[in-house]
Amino acid sequence: MRIKYRITFGYALIVTIILLALFSSIYFYTVNDREKQFRARILNKAFSTSQFLKTKGVTNDIIYSFNRNSHSSLSNKSIIVFDSKNKEILSYNDNDADEVHISADILRNARKQSPVFFTYKSRDAVALADNENIVPTVIVVAAYDNDRVAWLSNLRFLLITGFLASLLIFIIAGFWFSSRVVRSISKLTEKLTQISSEAFSARLETGTEKDELQELATTINNLLDQLQSSFDTQRRFISNASHELTTPLAAISSQLDVALQKERTNEEYKKVFISIKDDVKRLVLLLRSILEIAKASGSVGGIDLTKVRIDELLMRIPVEMKKISQLYDVKLNFEDFPENEGYYILYGNEALLYSALRNVIHNACKFSKDKCAKVSLTYTYQNIVVEVKDNGPGISPEELQNLFQPFFRGHKYENTQMIHGTGLGLALAHRIIELHKGDIYVESKVGEGSTFSIFLPVDSTKTYKK
């Protein structure tokens, strides 16, 4: 069932229940009220008959004649008077009224708890005990309320007509309202169908009304922004990765073709193999970096998390840098860090965190003029801060905004283009730090070097739930 029909049906069902409850209450209240009024009238008739019986000189014939000839609003009226032995001492019936036969139980109840109301053949009746008379009597009056029957018939017609008319109006109003709501959703759906991977720049209109539809449109727009950013990054990554992978493979292929064109000396073959080995190393490094980025692109729930001591990770890096190049030097400074060992511990993946720190420090060693990276460990409120400084050529403001993009490498200053690399190290570090709910910032001045500040939350055990 379509949403607008479900809304209309639910709206109509609620209105039906409310109207039924309201109109039923009106009807039954009116019935009870009319019944009380009529019972009061027949009770008054019983009282007046009792007074006649107490009046001197008034005989049964006079009472009979009075009820026969006087105009009364009571239809099909019957009056019966019983003595203490339940014997009729007066009986009167209108011409169109049937005789009333009263059981002994009713008379007995009337003497115990007067008056007693009951129904006799669709007529309302009352039994009133009069113990103040010389002879205790029970007076029974029965009559038919024509006015009540006609009034209730008209009331039922009005209530049923009003119920059906009101229900019809509410159904039409509910359908109109639901159509307006669904129309807005349909517009969102239609707009979404026009948005594809080739036209991600289109966005939904959020409108000016502060309602749930605006929140939905805003949420979808935010999601589209993220998807567009992901697709753009994916396109650039695939394009750059294809180029970076093709270059060493093409170099290897061309060198092999040249080497196979004629017989060469062992020394010449050795040079070719050494050159091919360098290209293979570059290719292996590139593939390893791509695999690490793919691993770091998952969620926290998909990786192993343990308690990690940040100082131990940093102390392993100088040896690692020496393995890469004997020229590289890493100077560690932990002087400003608290003595409490608990501040050194964070919650995360040790291999990924080590990879991120190694890549940032390796990048500083590569571009530093003296091949030295200065690393300091400090602490702020709820964060461990790792600062990595170099005295390299610096980074221009226009290059800073793309610094953490995969395969991006600065080429503007000095001979940075001669420094080998894949352009994936900082991108991988940025992704790993984000995965651990941290941040990385860069401050750089051209000609004065750069400072990378890495913030990692100490209490991340409260953030990560496996």
CATH code, domain carrying 35? 3.30.450
- 0.85 exceeded by the pTM? no
| Residue 333 and residue 376 in contact, taking contact as beta carbons nearer than 8 Å | yes
pLDDT number for residue 415: 44
pLDDT number for residue 375: 93
**What is the 3 state secondary structure string of 363-386?**
HHHHHCCCCEEEEEEEEECCEEEE
Q: For the domain that residue 347 is a member of, what is the CATH number?
A: 3.30.565.10
| Residue 283 and residue 245 in contact, taking contact as beta carbons nearer than 8 Å | yes
pLDDT number for residue 464: 39
Q: Which of 102, 409, 390 is nearest to 243 (CA)?
A: 409
| Residue 45 and residue 141 in contact, taking contact as beta carbons nearer than 8 Å | yes
Q: Which of 375, 376, 392, 380 is nearest to 439 (CA)?
A: 380
Greatest CA separation found in the chain?
Answer: 162
Q: What is the extent of the structural domain holding 77? A: 3-151
Q: What are phi and psi of 457, to 5 degrees?
A: -70, 130
Does 175 reside within a domain? no
Domain boundary among 106, 132, 151: 151
Does 158 reside within a domain? no
pLDDT number for residue 242: 64
pLDDT number for residue 332: 92
Tokens (6 digits) for 182 = 């669904």
Does 23 reside within a domain? yes
pLDDT number for residue 389: 93
Q: What are phi and psi of 111, to 5 degrees?
A: -70, -25
For residue 73, how many C-alpha atoms fall within 13 Å in the half-sphere facing its CB?
A: 10
Does 312 reside within a domain? yes
Cα separation, 133 vs 84, whole angstroms: 11
Domain boundary among 151, 168, 190: 151
Local structure of residue 217 (DSSP, 8 states): H
pLDDT number for residue 88: 85
Does 167 reside within a domain? no
Does 157 reside within a domain? no
pLDDT number for residue 280: 82
Domain count, the chain: 2
Does 255 reside within a domain? no
Cα separation, 185 vs 60, whole angstroms: 84
pLDDT in tens, the chain (466 residues): 677 777 788 878 888 899 899 989 998 998 888 888 888 988 988 888 888 777 765 666 676 777 665 656 678 888 888 888 888 888 888 877 778 888 888 888 888 887 999 988 888 999 998 877 667 888 899 988 888 878 888 888 999 998 899 889 888 888 888 787 777 777 777 777 777 655 667 777 776 667 677 788 888 888 878 777 767 666 666 665 565 566 667 778 888 888 888 888 888 888 888 888 877 876 776 676 666 666 655 555 556 678 888 888 899 889 888 887 889 999 999 877 667 766 778 888 887 888 889 889 988 998 898 899 999 998 887 888 999 999 988 888 878 777 777 665 554 444 444 455 556 678 778 888 887 888 999 998 888 889 999 999 875 444 433 3
Cα separation, 267 vs 151, whole angstroms: 123
Does 209 reside within a domain? no
For residue 32, how many C-alpha atoms fall within 13 Å in the half-sphere facing its CB?
A: 6
Cα separation, 149 vs 156, whole angstroms: 11
Domain boundary among 101, 133, 151: 151
pLDDT number for residue 463: 40
CB contact set of 333 (below 8 Å; sequence gap of 6+): 374, 375, 376, 377
pLDDT number for residue 330: 93
- The position carrying tokens 């009540």 is 148
